[in-house]
Structure 1
Amino acid sequence: MKNIYDIAKLAGVSIATVSRVINGTAKVSDKTREKVLAVINEEGYTPNVFAQGLGTNTMHTIGILVPIITDIYMSNAVYYLEEALHEIGYDCILTCTGFHLDQKEQHTTMLLEKHTDALIYVGSTYAGKGESQHETQYIRDAAEKVPVFIINGLVEGKNIYSTVSDDKNAVYSVVSSLIKSGRRNIAFLSDSASYSARQKLAGYEKALSDAMLPVRGEYRIHLRKDDIHYVRDLLIGYRDLDIDAAVTVADSIALGVLKYAKIRGISVPEDLSIVGYNNSVLAISADPEITSIDNHIEDVCRLTVNRLNTILSGEGEIEPSVCVNCTLKKRCTTD
């Protein structure tokens, strides 16, 4: 099958000229255009995205970066992003970066070398742990070349745009409601120190402080990993875990808490309220079904693509960051 280089050679022109003829975007003489079109027709050539992009300075391709695709939140985000991008005529290149800084930098460089029109980073891991500017310098460097969009992470810089869920207020509201229902020993379970996790923790601590309750270190449970059985076994290992509510940063963690309660013979929600996060399929697959905070990932993704389209189409300026409200989906693990 012939490619753009073959067409250019047969027509005796540059590959850029072939692309200009394909796109009809620049001045090409009638004689040259007819010659190129004749070769294209004779060879049955079908232009690909690369060929089209050469003449328009756009590949109509967006790079999407996720740390891990097996995570339900991440896979849902990719689905909604790809769907919305295709609706406005863009293709996607997906890459899984892992969580280490050097890998994030390498995958960013790879996508830039493919002449993507913009980059979308999915997940607050890309906003770093708030420890230093070095954690996110690769994003600022990328933004000097193409627009950069971050889902549920905040990085300040020119040409960087964030769409975040209102995690702090969501957790604050849930914890405040638990307190009003009589819960006092409320645990917070998190598996990271990402931007989103820090926002959730801040909401948890503020709700306790506003209710004049102590923020107890033993109730802030940091997990080494987001794994259902790991969470279950970790909690079983606590000898004196006296909690009457658990607020978690993911439904998988909440499911681990639910399994712990079943093994310990703890009644849910009578003696232990459990709240998950993301309102994923795990929440409704559990028995009993888990109350969960819905961060509306579809809305976040579609808003991100709308903002991206505004920038790439030159329609106008957009705010550096926008926030999407969360809602609580009450089910069987809370009163």
Structure 2
Amino acid sequence: MSNTLFSIDDIERLGTRARRENATNLFNGMAQLDNNMPATRFEGLVREVVGSIEGDEHREADKRRADEGSLPTGYFSAMDSAGLLAGEHRVYGFLQAIRRTPNVRRAIDIGTGSSALLAIATAVFQQKTERIVAYEINEVAAECARRVIELCGFEDLIEVVADNALDVPVKEADLVVSETFHRGLGNELGAKIMQHYGEAAMHLLPAGASVYAGAFERFIGRPVQRFGVFDGYGQWRLSGNVDFRKKSPFVEGSFNYSAPFPLALFAWTSLYDEFGVELIPYKLDQISQAVDLGNLPASDEVLTNVQFAYAHSCGIPADTVRKTLTPQT
């Protein structure tokens, strides 16, 4: 089967059970964080689906280099979408966090993209899940996601909604996942998504609940290098000796959201190296003092955020960080 994995005709001849087994093998392989992991097989499937829907015009647009400017209006880049799956450490962190989250029966994927990566991963790793709703604002991407989900055998479990997640009521869920932050939180629709779902969580959190936040560091301790522009947004990476294979970029936390609502939280470890902390708990009253997410500067000195729920502060100087990021007792 591995030699014919990208052939849609061959996959269509499989029954639902065989398709699910195929998808499970793919995602288990991606979750191993191996240099030879078969993540590219899923990327290939996504690219073939996108190509079959969009045709030659899309494929030609998709070949444009990042520095040549944005894609035409109404287009999304399948190469960028599939390329995101090649980010080993981020994908590994997402998949492991989803796998470790207990008792997920209802899940939401915000911004599922053409690959529906996190929605399918939830279906694979959370076998007791009863319903997964995947929101995607781009109708073409949503169509691609439905096709990928069908080829993976989960069309009866995952519903793709072609709508803006900010315009729909927040539904009760045990898990919310989102991969909308790869271009930078301050310039991304993800910030508004975080605010929308974070404010809903604030009203439902019991008094005394804690949220565990990851700290994202740009200018403390290590230099930063700009290395690409996609659709007008800058991407940044830390330069220096940071080995994410030895330090998981994800930490875990949880709080109650009507039902249990676990979160897998993103964390750059370099700030933890400097301040000697592993988890940064925020009390409920601190969450209510969050910054205006619509006005985050592009070059924050420090941005402390809960990746899937709420941003807490930004642009504060190092000495303030040293005081405010002291773990609560």
- Do they superpose with TM above 0.5? no
TM-score calculated relative to the size of structure 2: 0.31
Higher helix share: 1
Computing the radius of gyration from Cα coordinates, the structure with the larger value is 1
